């Protein structure tokens, strides 16, 4: 196997690498993602194995240069345009609200990218279920630090790690999950998903409705988790995250000046089908949120 594989790709639009991949990043110290010396580095689980993928953003020549290492390098180098939104089609998106139109004008070239696998989308989303952002970040980092796989090639020197394989997750004992600050409800969901991980990867080829039904057939995966996974793994542009603690309130605040519930969010976003996720992401990337006047929700203290 060569030390690395390289590819230059000339997208047919000014692809903003940082904007597209920024939605997958969890904090500035995310162990799966680094920006180093002008390149965006990702540690990925691919169908062919672990890979490190380094992408240099669009240059003056209109080319995005990529380099990949590891067992999954060939898969990553072949598919990295898809990870950057090459197969996302925003042409039918018609902003009907002035704010949405302005947010879209500010990011006209942003597209919805994908993860390299359903598993890489599912693991962090399950860890984020029904907890504060601080708890979720700690759980993700702890799982990666204790059970993650060092990225191949120079990714290891940057401290990059991929999520543990389904087999490894299925073998984590219950007391270890508690030490990671991941409670039994979430760990059971991950272990159950790990047992059918191979079939879950076939969800990538499914229509969104079939993918939603397959994901929600698993214990512990509901409307919110399915939407988050479909958005990240399939690039489903209509996968709105109903059931989120903040999203309905924040989008309602942005578009009407008042927080709304899920029913109100559905009404507000109905004109945007099948592109409702674009509104959610545009509002989120702009940092528009209901003013937080009270204290933050405190992390739970009954875990080790």
pLDDT (tens digit per residue) in 226-275: 999 999 999 999 999 999 989 999 999 999 999 999 999 999 999 999 99
What average pLDDT score do residues 285-299 get?
75
Q: Provide the pLDDT for residue 3.
A: 87
User: CB atoms < 10 A from the CB of 173, how many?
Assistant: 9
Predicted confidence (pLDDT) at residue 52 exceeds the cutoff of 90: yes
What is residue 1's predicted lDDT score, i.e. its pLDDT? 47
Mean pLDDT of 215-230: 96
Of 21-30, 35-44, 124-133, 169-178, the least confident:
21-30
- Please, are residues 253 and 246 in contact by the beta-carbon 8 Å criterion? no
Average pLDDT for 48-61: 96
User: In order of start, what are the domains of the chain with their CATH numbers?
Assistant: 5-91 (3.30.310.20), 92-304 (1.10.340.30)
Q: What is the mean pLDDT of residues 141-146?
A: 96
CB 163 within 8 A of CB 118: no
CB 31 within 8 A of CB 159: yes
- List, for residues 204-217, the tens digit of each pLDDT value: 778 889 999 999 99
Residue 294 has pLDDT above 60, yes or no: no
Q: What is the mean pLDDT of residues 63-92?
A: 97
Closest CA to 234 of 71, 92, 125: 125
Q: How far apart are CA 147 and CA 143, in angstroms?
A: 6
For 302, other C-beta atoms within 10 Å of its C-beta total 6
pLDDT tens track for 32-49: 999 999 999 999 999 999
State the pTM of this model. 0.93
- In 3-state terms, the chain is what percent helix, strand and coil (to 5)? 45, 10, 45
Judge contact between 262 and 242, C-beta under 8 A: yes
Q: Where residue 304 falls among pLDDT bands split at 50, 70, 90?
A: low
Q: What percent of the chain has pLDDT over 70?
A: 96
**Alpha helical stretches, state H, the chain:** 17-22, 73-83, 98-106, 118-127, 133-147, 166-170, 174-179, 184-195, 197-201, 208-216, 223-229, 247-256, 262-269, 276-285
């Amino acid at each position: 196997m060569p030390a690395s594989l390289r590819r230059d790709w000339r997208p047919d639009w000014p692809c903003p690498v940082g904007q597209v991949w920024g939605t997958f990043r969890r904090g500035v110290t995310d162990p799966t993602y680094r920006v180093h010396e002008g390149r965006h580095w990702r540690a990925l689980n691919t169908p062919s194995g672990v890979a490190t993928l380094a992408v240099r953003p669009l240059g003056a020549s209109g080319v995005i240069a990529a380099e990949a290492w590891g067992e999954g390098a060939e898969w990553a180098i072949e598919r990295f345009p898809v990870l950057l939104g090459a197969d996302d089609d925003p042409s039918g998106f018609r902003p009907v609200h002035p704010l949405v139109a302005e947010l879209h004008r500010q990011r006209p070239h942003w597209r919805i990218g994908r993860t390299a696998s359903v598993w890489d989308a599912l693991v962090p989303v399950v860890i984020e279920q029904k907890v504060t952002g601080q708890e979720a970040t700690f759980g993700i980092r702890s799982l990666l630090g204790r059970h993650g796989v060092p990225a191949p090639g120079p990714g290891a020197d940057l401290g990059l790690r991929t999520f543990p394989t389904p087999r490894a997750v299925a073998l984590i004992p219950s007391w270890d999950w508690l030490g990671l600050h991941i409670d039994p409800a979430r760990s059971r969901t991950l272990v159950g998903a790990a047992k059918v991980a191979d079939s879950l990867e076939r969800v990538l080829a499914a229509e969104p409705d079939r993918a939603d039904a397959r994901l929600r057939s698993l214990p512990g995966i509901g409307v919110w988790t399915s939407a988050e996974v479909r958005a990240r793994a399939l690039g489903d542009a209509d996968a709105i995250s109903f059931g989120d603690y903040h999203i309905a309130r924040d989008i309602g605040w942005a578009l009407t000046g008042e927080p709304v519930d899920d029913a109100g969010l559905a009404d507000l976003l109905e004109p945007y089908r099948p592109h409702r996720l674009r509104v959610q992401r545009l509002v989120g990337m702009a940092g528009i949120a209901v003013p937080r006047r009270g204290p933050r929700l405190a992390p739970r203290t009954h875990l080790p």
